Structure 1
């Protein structure tokens, strides 16, 4: 059944370094504190650990504690929940976005652009495929952090409605985060949501949040204060997408790219 509105909760939070149990506990409180009925809850990148290059201490299989915890929460709240975590599979580590539906079904996306500046490419196996998730009649494209810098990968050739980034994006480069989230919304005539963490990690990298949602014209829809733990709910509408795509047919003139992994 297609829903004309999609209510999305953005959870901007600090993360406890390499401590999945504690992160799950604090996120359980934040998720349960959402009293309004929402369709989707978005958590940051590597929400069980922070952006660690030591995956062996936090990695889990897909049938592990965290995915099961997400399934229980999604069923209990009757909402989808998404974010990324460290997954161990077939002898490899992945920075994997999981999108858990209220039914308990799980969709995944493995980060394509591993962050070479931090050596992520030497530790985590890069993904090779996008995954446009069908949920309540909305087509959602989940991507992860560094993917934001690569517009060809995000190009709206699949007619998605919502482009979704989860991140551990550091404060010194937050201007790029702000500018690129807005640009991705405008160029793809799509809603674009980015959820970034706050706080200081064990490598002394500081994160200031700037989590936000933008509409197809690049108008900011949220007002989440930087450097604070906060949850904000935004309502997206199909009417907004349809009206402006029909009026401004920019996507009809898009270039066609052939992507190679």
Structure 2
């Protein structure tokens, strides 16, 4: 299966971001991708966290973000992972949610980010997603064209037990890693999750300096089950493209059957 992971440098303007997402999804489909994944916060990198509340949607009454994702999937006849978008929660906060759409446009899976990022460098750089976001509770895996696909988002990468629960063949990790943490840990974490689970990893990312002053690491990657980086977009808009090969997955799992050797 040919896959594409899209890298964006999203802005505080949702309409502009949706237009850029549509452009790159079209480019990926034209390149033959059967599955396309967008990054975390593809639809908005606001001036402040509370901006997410202003564009939040619900599944019961889908808005322009969900309609755009559905139409892109159906229009191009592809599987599409809509990075993340904010959905309203009963608490008054929002969930940071990945929605996966099938080639006919129907919603195939929903995952709400379980682990909420908090970071303070001590040098003026700090984040606390829990201020406006409500954590998800349920790990999610689904059948993506014959591939058992585990959904995760950004900070989830630091919690390997999540992926053990998913038992994935393909891991999706749309992200917006900070430049500081990304430089130190991004590739390390992606390759570790691939090797631990003997699974492919598709990790679309935000990558550049945003209008709100935040700088994200980028390096959108596709990693194979042996931990080899198949494609990498360093910085700026672009896409990583690679082919997932079931024979490769099966060969690696046969040569190193560590998933069968688990005792805990």
Same fold by TM (over 0.5)? yes
- Find the aligned partners of 1:27 and 1:206 in 2 and give their Cα distance: 19
Q: CA deviation at 1:89?
A: 3.8
Post-superposition Cα deviations, 1:90-120, rounded to whole Å, max 9, x if no partner, equal 3441000111111222111000001123221
**Which of 9, 34, 37 is the equivalent residue of 1:42?**
37
CA distance in 1, matches of 2:15, 2:57: 12
Counterpart in 1 of 2:54?
Answer: 57
Contact kept in structure 2, 1:50 and 1:168, CA below 8 Å: no
Whole-angstrom CA distance in 1 between matches of 2:207 and 2:181: 14
**Displacement of 1:208:** 3.0
TM value normalised by structure 1: 0.90
Give 4+ residue runs of structure 1 displaced > 3 Å after superposition. Answer: 89-92
| 1:97 aligned onto 2:94 | no
Aligned to 2:5: 10
1:191–1:214 CA contact under 8 A, matched in 2: yes
2:25 corresponding residue in structure 1: 31
1:235-254 equivalences under 5 Å are: 235-254=243-262
Deviation at residue 243 of structure 1 after TM alignment: 1.1
Q: Is there any run of 5+ residues in structure 2 with no aligned partner, and where?
A: 120-126
**2:204 aligned counterpart, secondary structure:** strand
Confirm or deny: 8 A CA contact 2:220 2:240 kept in the other structure. no
Q: Aligned-pair distance for 1:255?
A: 4.5
Aligned length in residues? 248
What displacement does 1:30 show? Answer: 1.8
Unaligned runs of 5+ in 1: 1-5, 257-261
Distance in 2 separating the partners of 1:22 and 1:223: 24
Alignment check: 8 A CA contact 1:41 1:81 kept: yes
Tell me the alpha carbon deviations over residues 26-47 of structure 1, each in whole angstroms, 9 at most, x when there is no partner: 2112222231222111111011
Specify the alignment match of 2:141 in structure 1: 132
Deviation at 1:202, TM superposition (A): 4.5
- Compute the TM-score of the two structures, normalised by the length of structure 2: 0.89
Aligned residue number for residue 115 of structure 2: 113
Instruction: Show the 5 A alignment for 1:195-234.
Output: 195-224=204-233, 226-234=234-242
Aligned equivalent of 2:170: 162
**Do 2:53 and 2:93's aligned partners in 1 also have CA atoms closer than 8 Å?**
no
Give the aligned partner of residue 191 of structure 2: 182
CA-based RMSD: 1.6
Alpha-carbon distance between aligned partners in 2 of 1:113 and 1:28, rounded to the nearest angstrom: 28
Partner of 1:259: none
- Cα offset for 1:149? 0.9
Distance, in Å, in 1 between the alignment partners of 2:223 and 2:103 is 25
The residue aligned with 1:153 is 162
CA distance in 1 between partners of 2:89 and 2:130 (Å): 16
Give the Cα–Cα distance (whole angstroms) in 1 for the partners of residues 263 and 57 of structure 2.
39
1:84 aligned residue = 84
Query: Separation in 2 of the partners of 1:173 and 1:134?
Result: 31
